[in-house]
Amino acid sequence: MAPEPPPLLTMDGITKSFPGVRALDGVDLEVRAGEVHCLLGQNGAGKSTLIKVLAGAHQPDGGAITWRGEHVTLKSPIAAMRLGIATIYQELDLVEGLSVAENVYLGHEPTTAGFVVRGRDARTAAAALLRRLGHTEIDPARLVGELSAAQQQIVSMARALSHDVRLIVMDEPSAALDPDEVANLFRIVADLTAEGVAVVYISHRLEEIRRIGDRVTVLKDGRAVASGLPAESTPTREVVALMTGRDVEYVFPERPAQLPLAEPLLTVRGLTRRGEFAPVDLEVRPGEIVGLAGLVGSGRSEILETVYGARKAEAGQVLVDGRPLKPGSVRAAVRAGLGLAPEERKAQALLMLESITRNVSVSSMSRFSHGGWLDRGAEFKAARRATRELSLKPDLPSAPVRTLSGGNQQKAVLARWLLRGCRVLLLDEPTRGVDVGARAELYAVIRRLADDGLGVLLVSSEVPEVLGLADRVLVLREGHVVHTAPARELDEHRVLDLVMEGSPAS
């Protein structure tokens, strides 16, 4: 190591425990100026915890942090920011009631006399940052609560760039982004590293690591099992084996030889919501997985939510087993056997303070009740079976969902519908934030559910996922279905062409 410059950051033997969980068990991390250092690991491996220690948001129980050759303690987020460490957190951390510019400069507003906010300066500066990020369409004066998830991600990024940074930590920044957005993100990362800024990059999409990563550190169960591997030359299989401790075949489950010919379970006819999507027709048969491919904002999630009754259709019908559902009624949809795993699990699906068990059983409560009394033993057992099937970690049914890692929260939502045993499963981005190992399991579970006679309607930004898992694919662009075909007749390029064609540059 003698001829090399000292690393920008060294974290040495960092430990951190939460009640009942040892999240970090002596992790080392070394980051050099100007590199993209990728942090890999399964859900719950401790990646987010580690970067929260680095951001001053968690206090470590033990270990040492060296920044530019000096020993430092990061007592608060402010302390880390002062050193030039900015963080884009996995769970969006914006204030919805404040404008874009106000969020970008929250905590370090440009001021006169130290307390009067120079609003116009903040807006101009925020607009410049957004331009640098290639998003001039986001108005700095707009409320963040009115933006889409992808746009909010951009605002988080602008916020990180608003500091004078030497190190930017990005915790799964690409999870909510479209392919062209991801390309945009990579361009920004390249600009930053060219200026000598270091980037710590977390993602479950291994192909991204190879595209932008310089070196890789792999975490497993709160320990670094490999550090400083070269990102380009280390085979994916090896990385996955390090992460999971076994060989995972990253393949999709077999499709049944021929599509079932039964009557459709779910029929959607002329479903419309103006400004969101044009009239949509689709059918899902028992045993069939139908995929909706399209960009963020192409109306995919809106279609799912409307089918589910969470949004009220302006026109059109949803039929289950040929019987029409009452429009705009989630109750009716659930009674008829529809289940939705929504995109934004934190806001839309989870009771964050409640235990895993209760989150899983909430839609099946009647099954465990006798005259209104809950049989908690049965509830516990059933919920645990469902979570074990998805290998949700930690295996502590009483742990509050809030304390789960991002990918495991997703599994809790899926476990709910697994337990409920619905007939048509609507899955919105089911693998967002889910690690490779669990992904393969999830795919297998979804296919098995279909083989048992369920219908599945699947939305995903990851084209290979739709193509690999679905039997039939509908391609959406700006609220219109532009193409329908069996998945085996499509390939990734074709779908991307269809999805992007004529779409605005943003």
Partner 1 sequence: MTQPATPAKQEGPLLDGGGPRKSTSGDGAGPWSGRLFRPDVRTLSLIGVLVALALIGGVTKPDEFLATSNVQLILTQASVIGVVTVGMTFVITSGGIDLSVGAIVALASVWATTVATQEYGFAGILFTAVIVGVGCGLVNGLLIAYGGMVPFIATLAMLASARGLALQITEGKTQMVSIPSVLDLGERDAYLFGIPPLVLVFAAVTVIGWLVLNRTTFGRRTVAVGGNAEAARLAGIDVRRQRLYLYLLSGLCCGIAAFLLIVLAGSGQNTNGNLYELDAIAAAIIGGTLLSGGRGTITGSVLGVLIFTTITNIFALNNLESATQQIAKGAIIVAAVLVQRRTSHTP
Ligand X SMILES: Nc1ncnc2c1ncn2[C@@H]1O[C@H](COP(=O)(O)OP(=O)(O)OP(=O)(O)O)[C@@H](O)[C@H]1O
The contact set with ligand X (CB under 6 A) reads 18, 21, 23, 41, 43-49, 90, 394, 403-408, 433, 435
Among 29, 37, 46, 102, indicate the residue that binds partner 1 (CB under 8 A).
102
Cβ contacts of residue 133 below 8 Å, gap of 6+? 154, 157, 158, 161, 184, 188
Contact indicator for 433, 89 with CB cutoff of 8 Å: no
243 lies in the site for partner 1, by CB under 8 A: no
230 binds, among Mg ion, partner 1, ligand X, none (CB under 5 to 8 A by kind): none
Beta strand pairing call for 289-293 and 455-460:
parallel
3-state SS, 414-447, equals HHHHHHHCCCEEEEECCCCCCCHHHHHHHHHHHH
Whichever of 292 and 349 has its CB closer to Mg ion, that residue is 349
Query: Is 148 one of the binding residues for partner 1 (CB under 8 A)?
Result: yes
310-339 binders of partner 1 (CB under 8 A): 310-311, 330
User: Residues 217, 46: contact at Cβ < 8 Å?
Assistant: no
Q: With binding defined as CB under 8 A, does residue 302 bind partner 1?
A: yes
69 binds, among ligand X, Mg ion, partner 1, none (CB under 5 to 8 A by kind): none
Give the count of beta carbons closer than 10 Å to the beta carbon of residue 26: 14
- Give the range of 165-173, 192-200, 264-272, 303-311 binding partner 1 by CB under 8 A: 303-311
Nearer to partner 1, 108 or 223 (CB): 108
CA atoms within 13 A on the CB side of 30: 11
374 lines the binding site for partner 1 (CB under 8 A): no
Q: Which residue has the closest beta carbon to Mg ion?
A: 48
Q: How many CB atoms lie within 10 A of CB 424?
A: 24
* Residue 108 touches partner 1, criterion: CB under 8 A: yes
Residue (219 or 475) nearer to ligand X, CB:
219
Token duo for residue 239: 């990385």
Q: Is 97 in the site for partner 1 (CB under 8 A)?
A: yes
Q: Which residue's CB is nearer to partner 1, number 10 or number 124?
A: 124
Question: To which H or E segment does residue 310 belong?
Answer: none
Contact 43, 434 (CB under 8 A): yes
Task: Give yes or no for residue 117 binding partner 1 (CB under 8 A).
Answer: yes
Ranges of H-type helices in 195-281: 206-212, 236-244
Task: State which residue, 99 or 461, has the beta carbon closest to partner 1.
Answer: 99
For partner 1, which residue of 61, 146, 263, 281 counts as binding (CB under 8 A)? 146
Asked if 81 touches partner 1 (CB under 8 A), the answer is: yes
Question: Cβ 108 to partner 1, closest distance in Å?
Answer: 7
**Dihedral in degrees, nearest 10, Cα atoms 429, 283, 473, 276:** -60
Q: What type of residue sits at position 284? A: V
94 near partner 1, judged by CB under 8 A: yes
Binding at 385: pick from partner 1, Mg ion, ligand X, none (beta carbon under 5-8 Å per type) = none
- Residues near 42 by Cβ (< 8 Å), separated by ≥ 6? 220, 243, 244, 407, 435, 436, 437, 438
Residue 352 engages partner 1 in binding (rule: CB under 8 A):
no
3-class secondary-structure state, position 177: coil
CA distances from 347 to 92, 98, 175, 350 (A): 11, 18, 16, 7
* Binding site residues, Mg ion, CB under 5 A: 48, 90, 405-406
How far from each other are the two terminal CA atoms of the chain, in whole angstroms?
44
If the CB atoms of residues 227 and 329 are measured against partner 1, the closer one turns out to be 329
Residue 148 C-beta: closest distance to partner 1, Å = 4
**Site residues (vs partner 1, CB under 8 A):** 55, 57, 76-78, 81, 87, 89, 93-99, 101-102, 106-109, 111, 114-120, 122-123, 137, 139, 141-143, 145-148, 150-151, 159, 275-276, 296-297, 301-302, 305, 308, 310-311, 330, 340, 342, 344, 347-349, 362-363, 478-479, 504, 506
